[in-house]
Amino acid sequence: MPMEKPKNVLITGGSGMIGTRLTRLLLEKGHNVSHLGRSKGEGIRTFLWDPSRKKIDARAISDVDAIVHLA
């Protein structure tokens, strides 16, 4: 069975319990994972956002195949 093309997945709330597990599972399957958070994470590419100021790093959504919103 051919390997599917890796997807680029952005996760909000990626540092939480569910987000941490989902990140690990996606990485194990060969996908590219990044997080959208209010502070820089460790070991995973993290884009910053500030919902109260309505600011987001626009690069976070470039070339993304899926967004998982857990925040």
Burial class (CB in 10 A: 0-12, 13-18, 19+), 54: exposed
Query: Coil, helix or strand for 20?
Result: helix
| pTM of the predicted model as reported, rounded to 2 decimal places | 0.88
- pLDDT 10s digits, 5-26: 899 999 999 999 999 999 999 9
> Would you kindly state where each structural domain of the chain is located, as residue ranges?
8-69
Res 71: pLDDT: 81
Res 62: pLDDT: 93
Q: How many residues appear in the chain? A: 71
